[in-house]
């Protein structure tokens, strides 16, 4: 009988249906990294979200047969170690194809129309003291007619593209940085950075994409451009981004992720002066977290477990 251990049950708010095969189910609301090995002892199936399963830990779990990641990203799991042990690793796909794009556009709209700056001005009494019915202290840009560059063309990138086209935006799909050839329908990475009015990141974090956007890339963007990151914090050099916002290399940024989560003291993007900027919006990794999306995630998680038990694993990454 399978022993299923769910390490981070409180990471989603949803009804998680128990799988339809014989099993022993153990769940923990939260788990500290130092507790993982002890809690997974004897488990044949581990359900994780953001906790790290490194090679040494995997080697210490001889009963483990499957890692069910309750998310799309799998950079927290040593996939090579799992392949060597023939441990199946499955993730969740497509569940956020509506909620993440909507969050991306919430950030884009707020930044392009300077919503925070105008709200702060109203709170400070600027409107009340105005001599006419409105004031124009901060520029307002339309998304219609603007160019949006997408880094990553999976379900989330495609979802953002659909909304962008509905707004009348021109959409560019970025070729991989440093690619020797450009695929049909793609734009060279450097060219996309140069011409885009907004850039939205939707690619995984790995050795090739770490600090994909650093100082050279930020300086190559238009000074009027916006940078949106709802993927992984490590895709962007956070120190360079802080300078870009403070020194005006770009017009603004909307982020839902940081390089370390939950963030510890000292993250440059959490500096009070930076968070006070009206052209920097930071949300706590909630772009994916609409209630319908979380329920879809939970349903797919159970389906992944059942497919594995049938001997027909789905959504495999290892």
Are 258 and 241 contacting, i.e. CB atoms less than 8 angstroms apart? Answer: no
CA dist., res. 88 & res. 317, Å (int): 8
Measure the CA angle with vertex 233, ends 87 and 196; round to 5°.
120
Helix (H) / strand (E) containing 105: helix 99-112
Which of 202, 217, 232, 238 does the annotation list as catalytic? 232
Closest CA to 45 of 68, 72, 11, 17: 68
Residue where the block lists tokens 């790995």: 206
232 is catalytic: yes
CA dist., res. 176 & res. 37, Å (int): 37
DSSP 256: S
261 is catalytic: yes
Measure the CA angle with vertex 163, ends 159 and 164; round to 5°.
110
Q: Which two tokens stand for residue 81?
A: 């170690």
Closest CA to 24 of 47, 45, 38: 45
156: left (phi over 0), alpha (psi -120 to 50) or beta: alpha
Burial 155-168 (b: 16+ CB within 10 A, else e): bbbbbbbebbeeee
88 CB-contact burial (10 Å; exposed 0-12 / middle 13-18 / buried 19+):
buried
Are 143 and 107 contacting, i.e. CB atoms less than 8 angstroms apart? Answer: no
Which of 261, 291, 310, 316 does the annotation list as catalytic? 261
* Residues forming the active site: 232, 261, 285
């Amino acid at each position: 009988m399978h022993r299923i251990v769910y390490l981070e049950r409180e990471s989603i708010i949803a009804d998680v249906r128990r799988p339809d095969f014989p099993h022993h189910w153990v769940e923990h609301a939260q788990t500290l990294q130092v507790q993982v090995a002890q809690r997974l002892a004897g488990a044949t199936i581990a359900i994780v979200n953001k906790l790290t399963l490194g090679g040494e830990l995997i080697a210490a779990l001889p009963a483990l047969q499957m890692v069910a990641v309750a998310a799309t990203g799998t950079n927290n799991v040593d996939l090579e170690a799992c392949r060597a042990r023939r441990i199946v690793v499955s993730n969740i796909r497509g569940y956020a194809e509506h909620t993440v794009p909507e969050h991306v556009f919430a950030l884009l709209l707020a930044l392009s129309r300077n919503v925070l700056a105008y709200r702060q001005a109203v709170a400070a009494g600027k409107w009340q003291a105005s001599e006419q019915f409105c004031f124009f202290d901060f520029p307002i840009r339309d998304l219609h007619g603007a160019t949006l560059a997408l880094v990553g063309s999976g379900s989330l990138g495609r979802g953002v593209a659909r909304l962008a086209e509905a707004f009348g935006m021109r959409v560019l799909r970025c070729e991989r940085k440093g690619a020797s050839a450009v695929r049909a329908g793609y734009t060279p990475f450097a060219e996309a950075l140069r011409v885009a009015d907004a850039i939205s990141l939707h690619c995984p974090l790995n050795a090739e994409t770490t600090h994909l956007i650093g100082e050279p890339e930020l300086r190559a963007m238009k000074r009027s451009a916006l940078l949106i990151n709802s993927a992984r914090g490590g895709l962007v050099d956070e120190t360079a981004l802080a300078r870009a916002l403070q020194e005006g290399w770009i017009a603004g940024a909307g982020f839902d992720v940081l390089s370390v989560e939950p963030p510890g003291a000292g993250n440059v993007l959490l500096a009070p002066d930076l968070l006070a900027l009206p052209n920097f919006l930071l949300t706590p990794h909630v772009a994916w977290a609409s209630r319908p999306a979380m329920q879809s995630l939970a349903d797919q998680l159970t389906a992944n477990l059942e497919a594995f038990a049938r001997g027909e694993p789905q959504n495999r990454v290892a």
